[in-house]
A and B are shown apart, each in its own frame.
Chain A
Amino acid sequence: MFGVPEGLSSIFIMSLILIIRVFNMKSNPLFKTLSPYLRYILLTGYFLLSLIIIQSIGSVSYADDATPTPELNGADTAWMMVSTALVMLMTFPGLILFYSGLVKKLSALNTMLMSIVSYAIVSVIWFAFGFPLAFGKDVFGIIGRFSDVFFSHVTSLSGSIPTILFAVYQMTFAAITVSLISGALVERIKFKSWIMFTVLWITLVYIPLAHWVWGGGWLAKLGVLDFAGGIVVHISAGVSALAMCLLLGSRKDMRILPHQLGYSVIGAGLLWFGWFGFNAGSALSSGQLAVDAFVNTNMAAATGLLTWMIIDLIKDKKATVLGAISGSIAGLGAITPAVGYVNISSAFVIGVVSSCLCYVAVSYVKPSFKYDDSLDVFGIHGISGTWGTIALGLFANPVINGAKGLFYGGTHQLVSQLIGVSVAIIYCFTATFLIGLIIKRFYGLRVSRDSEIRGLDESEHEESAYEF
């Protein structure tokens, strides 16, 4: 009860992972003597037992850390519940349609299922151990104090909303972040490897990073600001996607040939719509700040769209549908970190610049380096997130939310932002690369050449999106 739980539980979780690993090794004599079903039943039993033990040794109430006399606000709570549902919609079906429409028809279902399964896995992980590790009481700036499995003891408030609402809101962020990565890995990653990746990546990359930036960790203490997830969501997804696609290697056919671009249009619309919850919800209340964020979101999306279209028109004399929706996502990704710190004219500029940078990344940088970032997760989310996080240090208007950017006479914020961006890029790339290497070594990442040609719908799921 006195500081013991977090140490004990982390050792416990590590030993759990080790035991599962050893248990599943083919060299283990138990592996041969027990039937697969029996092994899984035993493992599940062990896992549940461990959870109960962890819970009993680690039941520290959040009430200890309560700020003085917080009061629940009905309007804030209502808006945050709506925002949570909006962010959920961004993954399922927003991102699912956006990505699936862009792949070739033989892997349309596989692309959908990757994000669907990630959403479900994160929903469980987040309440089992994710939220306390990311947002629990800070331990040395590195990680949150692990205290409460499945939230059985939480009745407290976080600001003016219930802590459990804050937790489920944050859960939808974790879910969309890992789902975003799938866009760089489509049409070639083994489905089971993707499941392993989701679990490991959320635990080892997302949770620490979210703690550092949002949970009172060391980056937050350095003054790094990220209103709605430029670092935690877009840089982390984009950079991790790059690391994983380098590990996976290129597909046989690297072209983007959308099999159903109309899906992607619907998906982009749902993303834009959901992004109001993502950005304005990050105010964690329903007042002026949320409204500022709401309007900035729309402005950057619109200028991003128009800029990409203008580039298309100048360069190729024709506007494209994919260009338009890509531009809107580029604008949205860039405004995300800055959305609660800048005014509307800055949002306008951030959207314009973001589309220019992303266009260069996907049309020139990717082809010249020949990495197969299939649906441009790095090219659009990584680049726009990086730009937006730095732009916060340039455009932050102290009247909006306190932070003072370079153009308003502050240099400190820009320095903090640059540190935050660098740390996030280095950490996400390295940690994701290691996770990928481990999965590659023990299970493999890629489907066979033959499966790739037949398409992942058939080889991984024995289903097909279209019957002829």
Chain B
Amino acid sequence: MESGFVKGMSVSEIRGFGRQRGHKERYRGSEYVVDFVEKIKLEIAVEEEYLDKVIEIIRETAKTGDVGDGKIFVLPMENVVRIRTAEEGREAL
């Protein structure tokens, strides 16, 4: 990631569930199902030519081979605006 084609990313702590569902917790002998599991969400804006490279790096780093490794969603991006300079598009990235 330090190689320069990823210029920034956001990391958030989120809760959610996928196919592995929630987990059990037990307090004073009573069992509760916690529906939402704590997860990490990465948001990375990247130029199209580096997309495959970024996906590959995430896959290699995050993979354990077990259920719950997560998913990568690829979405198109319409525009980017840098607030400080009002630059748009590729320069703003």
Contact = CB atoms under 8 A, between A and B. Distances in A.
A359 B27 CA distance: 11
A258 B27 contact: yes
Contacts of A359: 29
A441 to B, nearest CB: 33
Interface in B1-46: 25-30, 32
B92 to A, nearest CB: 29
A372 interface: no
A326 B28 CA distance: 8
Contacts of A318: 26
Nearest to A321: B27
Interface residues on A, range: 10 to 19
Contacts, number: 31
A322 B29 CA distance: 10
A320 interface: yes
A255 interface: yes
A320 B30 contact: no
Contacts of A258: 27
Contacts of B29: 312, 315-316, 323, 359, 362-364
Secondary structure dominating the interface of B: strand
Nearest to B25: A257
A376 B26 contact: no
Interface of chain A, main secondary structure: helix
Interface in A408-444: none
A29 interface: no
Contacts of A255: 27, 30, 32
B28 A362 contact: yes
A320 B26 CA distance: 8
Nearest to B29: A363
A260 B50 CA distance: 43
A367 interface: yes
Nearest to A261: B27
Interface string A347-387: 00000000000010011100100000000100000000000
A258 B25 CA distance: 11
B28 A363 contact: yes
Contact of B27 (A315, A320, A364, A367): A320
Contacts of A364: 29
B28 A367 contact: no
Contacts of B26: 316, 318, 320
A154 interface: no
B91 to A, nearest CB: 34
A309 to B, nearest CB: 12
B28 A257 contact: no
Contacts of B30: 255-256, 363, 367
Contacts of B25: 257
Contacts of A315: 29
Nearest to A311: B29
8 contacts: A255-B30, A257-B25, A312-B29, A315-B29, A320-B26, A320-B27, A363-B28, A364-B29
> 3 tightest A-B contacts by CB?
A363-B29, A256-B27, A362-B28
